[in-house]
Amino acid sequence: MRHLLFTLALLLPCILAAGDYTPRDLVWTTQSKNSSESMPCGGHDIGMNVWVEGGDLLFYVSQSGWFDENNTLLKAGRWRLRLDGNPFGGSDFKQRLCLDEGAVYVSGGGVIVRLWADVSSPLVFVDVTSRKAVDGTLCYENWRHRKRPVSKAECQQCSYKWLVPKDCVTYPDSITAGNGSLTFIHRNRNITVFDFTIAYEQLETLRDSLYNPLGGRVLTGTMSAPGFHFEGCEEGVYASTDHRAWRFRHPRLRHATIAITLDNGEGNVSTPGCNARTSRKESARWWHSFWQRSWITTDDSNAEVSRMLRNYELTRFMLGCNAHGQWPTKFNGGLFTFDPVYVAPPGDDGAPSNPFTPDYRKWGGGTMTAQNQRLVYWPLLKSGDYDLLDVQLATYLRLLPTAISRTRHYWGHGGASFTEQLENYGLPNPAEYGKHPEESDPGVERNAWLEYEWDTALEFCLMALQAASYATDSTFIHRYGTMADECLRFFDEHYQYQARQLGAKPLDEKGRLVIYPGSGCETYKMAYNPSSTIAALQAVTAWRGKESPLPPERIPDIPLRVIDGDTCIAPATAWARVQNTETPQLYPVFPWRIYGMGREGLQTARNTYRKDPHAVEMRSTKGWKQDNIWAACLGLTEEAARLNNEKLSDGPYRFPAFWDPGFDWAPDLNRGGAAMVGLQEMLLQETPEGEPILFPAWPKEWNVRFRLHATGGRVIEGEMHDGKVFQH
């Protein structure tokens, strides 16, 4: 183990000059078998899955915010381009993801197709150029061409989950076509799962005052394809789903540009006058600038390191595709889910595991599971991608009035109560909310995993407060300071209220809160002073300083215990049961950074990592597991290298950063986010005073160069080569 403290010269020339970093292309030279072997592409708030199968170029298009009545996150549809003569069937076939331009190129047989999303508006371009004239067929394929019943198993894709009504359906889209043009619209009914939730959670008196993003929402898409003539519709099947195809024909095609515009009902539509030539230039410029913000690269002397850094970069690219959305990148697949039948192998009986439509994903379309969402967004501080981070934070800000109203309605006190399974309208998922007998507290989820888990919103508060320092942008404080204060106020007022309800004094004999009943993540339930919650309150209060409504002296101490003679962080002072496999006793290390490198109590945290029986038993790199982050934060170089190597290994699908579902769905973006954080922490940390710690958990035999961001608006560049450290 070693760690090096450096006060680095900032923004000075590096081996890679500023503005000179270009990520490598990803190239395939064979076609794909199906959509699970697709390649991501996107920008603004658009995601596409692009692949070539049987000579046809296919791509899905998604946009953040395409929520239907049931809160399923719909895809806009699937497009299929077929050129006569099968130009992509030869040995010169190539599909290339150009990260520096944010575009996918497909070429072969004298044909080049370029696909990209405009970075300033929700607009997709497909530019087709052929060396010789060729007949082409373009199809728009839609599986919502009829009213489609949603089965109980399929209802994981929406907010009803296992409370699915008998008449639950996905309503059909309205689709019209003409020569060179197509319009598709999904109009949400006025009565939606929002109304079901209001009634189920006993909030009828608040109905008209709460934020409702679903009722009457209109989702619109248009396609402009000059030179393509509409020929009619035909029925078809792809994967396990029937669809209807609107077919267009272009005779003697040499050059054509197809434009697809989406509108998710938020009013964020395409820039007037935007054309393919301008968009191509400006979008490529944005992506090149994006890659200059930060980078991690190597000399390829170690294949494992090269693969890790490659998958880090590919994950960051997928996050960059939703830089300007109104809704955050979902942990359970983001904008890049593919046909669910290909996510998992068939069952023992040979039947497909998920015989549903392309709209399907587990854990909901409009539901945010905070413990998972946070891992998607923590790495954006060190990568300098504050615009991407703001998409997630703004979502919580929109929901703040609902969280305050809900708190006042149930308990009569102040503050904002955000739950773990949070709908995009700010209320607990109705299925996870549970059944409440008359004598139960209607504000508490009757759920073995989720009851009393209210502290996860504090992580997003901390992200916002730290972003103000990383970006040296006071608007983060102005926008999100109130959100942090209201979350702190909830804990202060609620646990004094809770103590009175239990017949106890509101504060203990030392004048501090008693967090009971509490929850150490979803794992340590009915907990008394859980360490993860206490660390959260301490950290956010410290960042708010004098503005905090919760005095720091009112927050309990983090509980400790002795294991085999060594002091360790305890999950809580006491708890009733262990429900899940998280390790909240290490949350004071990350995300709360109370223990760690350059901080007091480092040995206590290392003891916890090594000796706590649950921490050892639950160690894993699956899905949202974050042992790789803790190992790096504690300077455990060998352990951090092993775990991050596993975390950033190639996924089971063709695109290496499409990871398996883990605990959730594919591609698993909370695994990708956790992997990004772990890698960053191996390279750069800070002391509480802001002194950089360079390479705190990086093996000396791994050559690497990086540019990452730190507090105070600093950009730090460093290099390790053959065990020697250089500062730039």
pLDDT digits (tens, 9 = 90+) for 84-97: 999 999 999 999 99
From edge to edge, which strands make up the β-sheet containing 684-686? 4-5, 692-694, 684-686
475-501 vs 386-411: helix crossing angle, rounded to 10 = 30
Listed in sequence order, the residues at least 6 apart from 116 whose beta carbon sits closer than 8 Å to its beta carbon are 41, 43, 101, 102, 103, 104, 124, 125, 279, 280, 283, 284
Q: What is the pLDDT of residue 267?
A: 74
475-501 vs 531-544: helix crossing angle, rounded to 10 = 140
Tokens of 314: 């590919």
CB 392, CB 372: distance < 8 Å: no
For the chain, how many residues are written? 728
Q: What is the pLDDT of residue 610?
A: 98
Tokens of 634: 């504690």
DSSP 166: T
Q: What is the pLDDT of residue 507?
A: 97
**Which residues are bridge partners to 246 per DSSP?**
140, 233
CB 46, CB 117: distance < 8 Å: yes
CA distance 533 to 4: 31
Residues of the chain with pLDDT under 70: 1-19, 268-273
Per DSSP, helices labelled H in 321-411 are 370-377, 386-411
**Which residues are bridge partners to 686 per DSSP?**
692
Question: Considering only CA atoms, which of 583, 560, 593, 545 is closest in space to residue 693?
Answer: 593
**Which residues are bridge partners to 108 per DSSP?**
111
Neighbouring CB atoms inside 10 A of 86's CB total 13
Element at 526 (helix H, strand E): strand 524-527
From residue 130, how far is each of 88, 256, 275 by CA, in Å? 12, 9, 20
Q: What is the pLDDT of residue 9?
A: 38
pTM: 0.96
Q: What is the pLDDT of residue 348?
A: 82
Three-state DSSP class for residue 713: helix
CA distance 60 to 225: 17
Q: What is the pLDDT of residue 628?
A: 98
Question: Considering only CA atoms, which of 519, 467, 457, 516 is closest in space to residue 488?
Answer: 457
Q: What is the pLDDT of residue 269?
A: 64
Write out the E strands in 570-612.
Answer: 577-578
CA distance 229 to 180: 6
Q: What is the pLDDT of residue 7?
A: 37
CA distance 97 to 281: 17
Neighbouring CB atoms inside 10 A of 523's CB total 24
- In this structure, what is the dihedral angle of CA atoms 621, 314, 58, 275, given to the nearest 10 degrees? 150
